[in-house]
Structure 1
Amino acid sequence: MKNSYRLAFLSAFLLWLGWPPIPYTAPLLLVAFVPLLLAVEQLILDGTAKRGRKIFGLAFCTGFLWNTASIYWVYNAISAVMPAYIAVFISLIPFGLAALLMALAFRLYAQLRKRYGLIVSLVGLICFWMSYEYLHQSWDLAFPWMTLGNGFANFHQLIQWYEYTGVYGGTLWIWLCNVLLFLLLRKKLLLKEPLVLPKSIAGFAALVLIPCALSLIRYFTYEEHVNPSNVVVVQPNVDPYAKWTMPITEQVDQLIALSRTKAQSNTEFFIWPESAIPERPPGVNEEEIRSNTNYLDIRQFLDDYRNGNVLSGIESMLIYDTLATPSAQKLERLSKYIDVFNAAVLIDNSSKVQFYHKSKLVPGVEQLPFASLSFLKPLFAAFGGSTGSYGRQAHPTVFYAQSGIGAAPVICYESIWGNYVAQYVKDGAQFIAIVTNDAWWGNTSGKSQHLDYAKLRAIENRRWVARSANTGISAFINQRGDIVAKTKWWEPAALKADINLNEAITFYTATGDYIAYVACIGCLVYLVLLVGTLRRQQ
């Protein structure tokens, strides 16, 4: 059993080593699960007592170590607003939950092995795993940061075919390579059977190299249709913990000043980061924004840029006479209801103002998971969250400039949802504007991972990404996923680029996460088989 845990630790180490932002190590993911699969198989072949529980434990150990090593930076954001011992406990929740779901996939695989053959069971394992990943982007505890297909974000030249499959194509490829190598090593190491080496190596090499070769061909031959638009992204570098104690007008003045350093007469978009337009809580009243001082200053700034638009993050609110939405809270002193939003706004030279309310809210911080569990609100509030204070909208909103250009206002955490970002593009977005604030995590790998994941959205949709981050890393990413310009961490800056707008729709944009849907159907079929088998045995 000790050897089994050594193999589990080896898998965790390889998964971490292959994960962003470590450069050019992503191919390790193609073999990283093999030690764990061999450890599990050894327990099955030996007929170990209570092997189902032991397999669960091995998989949980691998998942927990991998997640903790890769997203340790979650602790930084939490420890800034609460005591260290509580921060440690809360940080363990995303690590442990993901590991629990991963281990459950292996536990179900062990059940399949009791009743079905190896190949059938391995297909079931892949379906269970991909269904876990889809669940982890769909439910109220969503945190799809560690979806396997994200792992190639730092070696994007090898996954240009994500324009057809999205990140779930990457998850499937990783698992197929791991399973094939496992089958070869199982035969040699565990069953002590001879291998036909040329054929075995050729099969595995083909599965690895053919997708890479096709991707590299696509990467080096891809040409963007020339349709330029001048865009400026701004990085004000405001300490998020001191933001609300700083003079409001000073922050807007800084954003305008930085914008002017890169602005041209033909600049069409100025992208400012998440919550860039400040207002004392609960935020700017959307219905009264045209009389807001910040709005008037921005309009005055845009007078110098006839086709200019400011696309910015903003804290906003709406007031209702009745309980209009589930997230609205009652204002007792006014006998009215209020919704507060982490929002984006588009301001141009007309009187039109467009708003988008962030849809993918961070569990426990921006929303209470499973709203029916209202008794948990005091607990989350005690842990420093703003639970219950943010409203949301169900579907994305494309911002349209007066010139007709469509921009996708993607707010922070939303940029890791491929299918959601693709919906913007289907609705007419010609480029993707990501507004974010990664300063909560400090100078850790979290900010770099978040930037790398934006490259995946560029490839999936073949759209430029203009990324404005409060304290870094702001960047421009082209349609191949190349970072063509970026800022440094923790310094005020502005960048400009002539990006190419695109109206073409990729296969992935049109179809979404179809691979995950098929895997979920497969998962349901396997679960029915398991339940049916259990009933027959009773």
Structure 2
Amino acid sequence: MSNYKLYSASLLSGFLLISIFPGFNLEIFAWVSLVPLFIATRKTSPLASLKLGFIAGFVFYIGVIYWVVIAMTKYGGMPFIVSLTVLILLSGYLAIYVSLFTFLLSYFSNQQRYILAPFLWVALELIRAHFLTGFPWASLGYSQFKTLPVIQIADVTGVYGVSFIIVMVNAAIALFIESITPLHPPLNKGGSGGVRQFATRYMLATAILLISFSIYGFWRINLFNSELKTQNSKLKVALIQGNIEQDMKWDERYQNEVFDAHVNLTMQASLDKPDLIVWPESATPFYFQADRNFRSKMIELAQRGGSFILFGTPGYEITDGKNVPYNRAYLLSPHGDVAGKYDKIHLVPFGEYVPLRKILFFIDKMVVGIGDFQSGEEYTIFKTQNSRPTFAGVPKTQNSFGVLICFEVIFPDLVRRFVKNGAEFLVNITNDGWYGKTAASPQHIAMVAFRAVENRVPVVRAANTGISGIIEPTGNIKKETDIFVRTHISGEIKTGSTVKTFYTQYGDVFAYLCVAVTLLLFFLSKGLTLKYKFI
């Protein structure tokens, strides 16, 4: 293939990868998005494969996380050129993982590379999820959040299992195309017959795996629907979406207005007599523990409404005579008592703290409103009660839940620990107003849906500007709001399940198994015998 065709194929994969995520919602293209890249890199040298992979990855990520510029420029106060530079650097860093994928595959024989591909992709996604605090945004599996039968396997494999099958299908299609065209030499000494034989076996294995995933998925969905009819314990929740502009949120001139907006929505929601009312992240424009005026108003609100109220607020602890700030959530009981608090564990680098502060001392002077929060350490489990009789006539069923603040919810291993510790459902409070009217909010809630599937618990989400929603244990988004509207929604969720999924109990075993298989295949390839010279 000419260089023009190679680069065109790489660009095509990049654009197809953009299209499969929320914003375009063409998730069907996920199953062919890597085919052009597979074909383009089949005969190229390691260096050429590295370049082609980087091009595809760079186009992909810059098209998916473009909202970084909006967040940093409009709401962070940074110059456009600086924000654009950050986007380019971040996209370049993420593109390295795609380039490593094609680079490492180029050292294997054609049969081996197709066997290795899904394992290697998952291994690289796992590394990306943990390296440098981790940024698992836009993992390939998230594109299928609406394809419910396929994603049910996540309660065993996590999102990585869905990424695995997507890559395997792409590899099978690429292999099929190569087996019926004269563009490339045979895959092995068996000539074209050998090519077709291997392609047939690979496609058959892929089809069996995909069908097995789907059968399992339909079974899990049907099981949930049948349990829904018989399970007694339900909890009614109300989600408050204040839709507060970022520049108003911490301006003292608007303090009363911001608070009153949430109070009014809460009183409207209270008419449905919810058991739990959820406000978004940092919904209170004051320190709840220190502001006597607004603290008394919050307590009075809980007592008037007769519901538990969970809300986000800044908090602090005094350590060595200094105030140490936390991004915190409090739970108030219907009696106005503080029923618990949670301090955010996984902070946003450059948003809530500055990593390597001694080296990057200038950063907090560039970005307006950057925080310097301390990480929490406890996986807090809150307790609430169903104030209404259940269908079995048993009053006041106690329910346990965990809280994830903002982008903590994109880290599956962190989330599962709350459920493992006893949470029967999860609450995600967030402020996605930073992203404006971009694809970031739907991308964010797509990942939340996977947390519900992985742990087989419902998830409720209150976002300042949306998307707020109620998500079933199947990943189905049962109710959701539009973005940038002031509103509230209510609904019931199932609670009381004590069954822990494989993923909840053991975490990313599947992903680490993929890492082990990847390393094993490297060792089996005769000590990394180079197939091509590095040119």
Q: What one-letter code is carried by the residue in structure 1 that aligns with 2:216? A: L
Shift of 1:236: 0.7
Q: Which of 183, 188, 192 is the matching residue for 2:180?
A: 188
**Secondary structure, aligned partner of 2:180:** helix
Alignment of 1:121-200 (within 5 A): 121-189=113-181, 190-191=184-185, 193=192, 195=196
Q: What one-letter code is carried by the residue in structure 2 that aligns with 1:231? A: V
Shift of 1:383: 4.3
Change in 2 beyond 3 A, CA 1:296/1:367: same
- 1:5 is aligned to 7
- Contact 1:4–1:39 (Cα < 8 Å) also in 2: yes
Shift of 1:531: 11
Change in 2 beyond 3 A, CA 1:422/1:73: same
What are the superposed Cα offsets for residues 142-194 of structure 1, whole Å, 9 maximum, x if unpaired? Answer: 21112112111132343222222210111111122222223322333323625
Q: Which moved more, 1:355-364 or 1:405-414?
A: 355-364
What are the superposed Cα offsets for residues 315-351 of structure 1, whole Å, 9 maximum, x if unpaired? Answer: 1112212xxxxxxxxxxxxxx3232122211122254
- 2:382 is aligned to 399
- 2:280 is aligned to 273
- Contact 1:273–1:468 (Cα < 8 Å) also in 2: yes
Alignment of 1:100-499 (within 5 A): 100-110=96-106, 112-113=107-108, 117-189=109-181, 190-191=184-185, 193=192, 195=196, 204-223=206-225, 224=228, 225-245=231-251, 246-264=253-271, 266-279=273-286, 283-284=287-288, 288-289=289-290, 292-306=292-306, 308-321=307-320, 336-348=321-333, 349=335, 351-369=337-355, 371=356, 374-379=358-363, 381-384=365-368, 386=370, 389-401=372-384, 404-499=398-493
Q: What is the root-mean-square deviation of aligned Cα atoms in Å? A: 2.7
- Contact 1:358–1:393 (Cα < 8 Å) also in 2: yes
Q: TM-score, normalised by structure 1?
A: 0.85
What are the superposed Cα offsets for residues 267-302 of structure 1, whole Å, 9 maximum, x if unpaired? Answer: 2211000110112xxx45xxx44x632221121112
Paired residues, number: 499
Q: What one-letter code is carried by the residue in structure 2 that aligns with 1:259? A: T
Change in 2 beyond 3 A, CA 1:524/1:214: closer
Where structure 1 has 5 or more consecutive residues not aligned to the other structure, the ranges are 44-50, 322-335
Q: Which moved more, 1:197-206 or 1:207-216?
A: 197-206
Q: TM-score, normalised by structure 2?
A: 0.86
- Contact 2:331–2:339 (Cα < 8 Å) also in 1: yes
- 1:91 is aligned to 87
**1-structure distance, mates of 2:116, 2:370:** 40
**Secondary structure, aligned partner of 2:362:** helix
**1-structure distance, mates of 2:201, 2:42:** 23
Q: Which moved more, 1:169-178 or 1:498-507?
A: 498-507
Change in 2 beyond 3 A, CA 1:435/1:163: same
What are the superposed Cα offsets for residues 478-513 of structure 1, whole Å, 9 maximum, x if unpaired? Answer: 222222222222121111112211432222211211
Change in 2 beyond 3 A, CA 1:405/1:131: same
**Secondary structure, aligned partner of 1:138:** helix
Change in 2 beyond 3 A, CA 1:499/1:313: same
What are the superposed Cα offsets for residues 52-85 of structure 1, whole Å, 9 maximum, x if unpaired? Answer: 2211110000011111112211211011111111
Shift of 1:357: 1.5
What are the superposed Cα offsets for residues 445-465 of structure 1, whole Å, 9 maximum, x if unpaired? Answer: 111111222211121222122
**2-structure distance, mates of 1:203, 1:320:** 58
**Secondary structure, aligned partner of 1:343:** strand
What are the superposed Cα offsets for residues 348-404 of structure 1, whole Å, 9 maximum, x if unpaired? Answer: 2254352212122222222334x4x621232454244726x1111245222223664
- Contact 1:37–1:182 (Cα < 8 Å) also in 2: yes
**2-structure distance, mates of 1:450, 1:200:** 34
Q: What one-letter code is carried by the residue in structure 1 that aligns with 2:507? A: G
**2-structure distance, mates of 1:121, 1:199:** 15
**2-structure distance, mates of 1:64, 1:272:** 37
Change in 2 beyond 3 A, CA 1:61/1:395: farther
Q: What one-letter code is carried by the residue in structure 2 that aligns with 1:93? A: L
Q: What one-letter code is carried by the residue in structure 2 that aligns with 1:2? A: Y
What are the superposed Cα offsets for residues 401-440 of structure 1, whole Å, 9 maximum, x if unpaired? Answer: 3664212111111111122111111111111111111111
Shift of 1:127: 3.7
- Contact 1:360–1:414 (Cα < 8 Å) also in 2: yes
- Contact 1:56–1:106 (Cα < 8 Å) also in 2: yes
